[in-house]
A and B are shown apart, each in its own frame.
Chain A
Amino acid sequence: MSNQPTATQIVQPVRTDAYLDTLQMFTGVALILFMWSHMILVASVNLGPGVMNAIANFLEETYLAQTGGPLIALIFLVHFVLAARKIPFRAKEQKMMWEHSVRFNHLDTWLWNVQAITAMIILIMGSVHMWTVLTNLPISAAKSAARVQTGWWLLFYIILLPMIELHVGIGFYRIGVKWGWITRSNRKGLKRFENKLTLVFVTIGLITLFTLYFIINPA
């Protein structure tokens, strides 16, 4: 194989990688902010079904649910395509990364593996969740409770919840590291803060699932 550039490569300077990486960061930040807001809004059901219904109605009447939902779905898919550029799909690369992680046993390297694996699970489960919710608007506490209390949906959300929170938490930390906002001097403190934040959101999520399963009447 020749190392000489081919005719199609002689376009200088190529900025595509920079644009794609910047867009990956922006879509990531947008999804992180969305996921945190989403969790807080859904958790409003813990204050009573009326509170959640009022918020859902507001989003419905202002058309935020109808437009925001598909927009988030689009950002979700774009973020997947952009971030997937970094994930090894060839068996040889996967093997090298895994062997390196086992040998090195370095926390941040392990966290990247967690991010890559949770990404695949979220891609499938997140799509299922979005389809189910967006094809059954408007959102209401009773409908959410009915879903969680039916079939395997409780298990579905018990799996999806930590996947999302891990991915979001690690992603938030990694964006900070990659773009230089998390530096050597504040890394330790911010990492600890991020871990606590992830735990808080998982706890809020579990409490919300408990409320939807045991307390809210689906009728």
Chain B
Amino acid sequence: MGRSLKFNIFRYNPEDPASVPHMETFHLEETDAMTLFIALNRIREEQDPSLQFDFMCRAGICGSCAMLINGRPDLACHTKTKGLPEEITLLPLPVFKLIGDLSVDTGTWFRAMNEKVQSWVHTDKVFDPQAPEERMENQLAEEIYELERCVECGCCVAACGKANMRPEFMGAVAFNRIARFMMDPRDQRTGDQYFEVVGNEEGIFGCLGLLGCEDVCPKDIPLQDQLGLLRRKMGWQSVRHLFSKLLPE
């Protein structure tokens, strides 16, 4: 017989004026290979059909099911209850707009972020759908893909002290996006153009280096290395600019 698990789950429906934010307790018997996805579905099916939470793929690919699991942001679908204590506290991700209970709207935030960092290949080359795709070194393609694996779950943003304090802060996911395009030889943006997007306090110079993002990323994207590299590149860019001002040719 499995353990008896106690779930403390945040409940609140912002759409209902009578709803008051509170924690609700549910009990469930643990089964083999139980994930939080399975547990939450069982609670909804067997105990409270009004419980709100997001799921799509169940395989850590869509990034919908991110939540605070005992305070730590992670994907519910790939979190096994076996690795958790008997008492499990589930909260919605902070920073993002609350839809209800454990469900948050990450889409609006990510759309705004992608627009802000202009998250697409900037080129003046006209796309020819008939032409073969431009070739790229395999190693470079793999390095770009490594950063491209982000599923936009929002865990890094929720784990970021700065993003919690200051909503205008871009967060590691935005820096990862920029780093990805800076690597891409098809993107024709200059260093100055990248600087304009992230070379400020809302961007890379506002990062406190707390590494919450690095430590929680469910896809294990090397965020720490990208953040350090980006700050150095942008810092160097500004120092070079200062010297060119002070020492004109």
Contacts and interface: CB of A to CB of B under 8 A. Distances in A.
Interface string B213-243: 0110000001011011101101101110110
Interface string A56-77: 0000000000000000000000
A100 B165 CA distance: 9
B201 A17 contact: yes
A137 B91 CA distance: 58
Contact of A17 (B199, B222, B237, B242): B199
B215 A18 contact: no
Interface in A86-133: 86, 88, 93, 96-97, 100-101, 103-106, 108-109, 112
A179 B225 CA distance: 9
B195 to A, nearest CB: 6
A15 interface: yes
B224 A177 contact: yes
Interface string B138-150: 0000000000000
Contacts of B205: 17-18, 20-21
Name the prevailing secondary structure of the B interface residues. Answer: helix
Nearest to A113: B161
B63 interface: no
B208 A180 contact: no
Interface of B: 68, 71-72, 91, 94, 159, 161, 164-166, 192, 195-196, 199-201, 203, 205-212, 214-215, 222, 224-225, 227-229, 231-232, 234-235, 237-239, 241-242
A22 interface: yes
Interface of A: 12-15, 17-22, 25, 85-86, 88, 93, 96-97, 100-101, 103-106, 108-109, 112, 174, 177-184, 187
Nearest to B228: A180
A112 B159 contact: no
Contacts of A103: 68, 71, 91
Given A100-B161, A180-B228, 12 more contacts: A15-B199, A15-B241, A17-B203, A17-B206, A18-B195, A93-B165, A96-B165, A97-B165, A108-B209, A179-B228, A180-B229, A181-B228
A166 to B, nearest CB: 16
A86 B208 contact: yes
Contact of A177 (B165, B203, B209): B209
A18 B159 contact: no
B228 A182 contact: yes
Nearest to A185: B225
